[in-house]
Structure 1
Amino acid sequence: MFRFKQKLTQASFILLLSSLLTACGFQLRGEYSVPEDITAISVTSYDKYSKITRLVKEQLRLSQIELVTPNKDVPNIHIIGETITDRTLSLYQNTRAAEKEVVYEVNYRVTVPDLGAKDFTATMTRSYLDNPLSALAKSAERKLIEDEMREFSAQQMMRQMARLKTEIQEFEEKQHLEESNSNTQDNSPS
C-alpha cells in the first residue's frame, strides 16, 4: 500500500510539473522553428555541395520545410560564405602553440518576398590542445571540431530564422495599418 501511494504521489508530481511547464510556454532548446508562413524555401550557396549547405538543407527538412528551386515568389536562404580562422591561446615553454582557438563563421542572407532581405552571421568558437607529438590525432581532432561547429552553426541559423517570425508579424501589422488608413481616407467625405 505504501508503494502504491508513493507511485501515485510521483505520478501526480510529474503531471503537475509538466502542466506548469506547458502553461508557461516552456520549450526544449531544439524546438526553434522557421516561421509558419514559410512552408517552402529555396537554398542557394557559394558552393552547393559544401557541408554547411547540406546541413542547412537537412535542418530545413527536419523543420518540415519543403525545399524548392529558386523563384522570386519563394523565400530564399543564400549562403554567402564560410570562414575558419584560428589563433593561439597559449604556448609551451619552447614557444610552440599549446592551445588554439578555432572560430567558424558562416554568412548568409534570408530573402522573403514582399518583406525584403536580411543578412545574418552564425559564429561558433571552440578551443583545443595542440600537442605537437600527436600530429595525426591533432588533424583528426581539428576536422571533428570543424564538422561539429558547422552542425551547430546550421542549428543556430534555424534559431535566427525563428526571429524572422516577429519581423514578418511587424511587416503584416504595418501593411494592415496602411490598408486601414487608405480605406479610411477613401471613405472620408471630401
Structure 2
Amino acid sequence: MVKSYFTSLVMTYKRLITVFTLVSLLSACGFHLRGDYLLNDELQTLYVSSSDIHGELTRLVKQHLSHNQVKVLKHKNTQVPELRIMSDTLDRRTLSVFENGQVAEYELIYAVHYQLRFANEEPKSFHFELNRDYQDDPSLALAKSRELSLLLSEMRTSAADKILRDMARVQR
C-alpha cells in the first residue's frame, strides 16, 4: 500500500517537472500565443479614432487592443496616445479575362493608412497594403459573393493584426 502511494507520488512529481520544463523552454525561446503583442507601457491606455467609427476595421482594432489588455478610452484625452485610422480602401485590378471579355480573376488591394500620435509630438504615419487574388465565376455568382465577403473580412482581420504588430515595434 505504501509502495503504491510512493510510486504515484513520484509519477506526479515527474509530470510536474516535465510540465515546468516545457513551459520554461517555451517562454525562454520567446514564444507567445498568436495575437498577443507586447505593447509599450505608454500604449496601455489609448484613444482610437477613425474616419469610419463604426467600420469593421475600427471595431477589430479595438477588439484586438482589448484582448491585449489595452484600455481604450471613449473620449479623447490629450495626454494619452491616439491611434487614428485615416483610411482603409479596397481596390481591385484585373488579372485575367475569359474569352468573352468577362473578368475571370481580380487582385484585391486593401490599403490602410493610420497614424499614432503621442502628446506634444509629431504623428507617426504608417501605410500598408494587403493583396489577395480572387477568381470570379459568373455561373456561381451567389457563392462567389459570399467568398468575396469572407475574403474581405479576413483581410480586415489581418490588417488589425498588422496594426498591433506595428504598434509593438514603436520605440520612442
TM-score, L = length of structure 1: 0.74
Check the 8 A contact 2:46/2:80 in 1, yes or no: yes
Query: Which residue, out of 30, 37, 61, partners 1:32?
Result: 37
SS at match of 2:42: coil
Give, in whole Å, the separation in 2 of the partners of 1:31 and 1:134: 38
Indicate whether 1:62 and 2:58 are aligned. Answer: no
SS at match of 1:77: strand
Indicate whether 1:121 and 2:127 are aligned. Answer: yes
Query: Which residue, out of 130, 133, 137, partners 1:131?
Result: 137
Give, in whole Å, the separation in 1 of the partners of 2:29 and 2:43: 26
Residue 76 of structure 1 and its aligned partner are, at CA, apart by: 0.3
In the alignment, what sits opposite 1:21?
A: 26
Indicate whether 1:79 and 2:88 are aligned. Answer: no
Query: Which residue, out of 161, 179, 188, partners 2:167?
Result: 161
Between the two proteins, what is the percent identity of the paired residues?
37
TM-score, L = length of structure 2: 0.81
In the alignment, what sits opposite 1:96?
A: 102
Describe the shift of the 1:64–1:18 C-alpha distance in structure 2 as closer, same or farther (beyond 3 A).
Answer: closer
Give, in whole Å, the separation in 1 of the partners of 2:68 and 2:20: 28
Give, in whole Å, the separation in 1 of the partners of 2:50 and 2:113: 10
Q: Which runs of 5+ in 2 are unaligned?
A: 1-13
In the alignment, what sits opposite 2:9?
A: none
Task: Output the amino acid matched with 2:107.
Answer: E
Q: Which runs of 5+ in 1 are unaligned?
A: 1-8, 169-190
1:143-154 equivalence runs, <5 A? 143-154=149-160
Task: Output the amino acid matched with 1:92.
Answer: F
Task: Output the amino acid matched with 1:144.
Answer: L
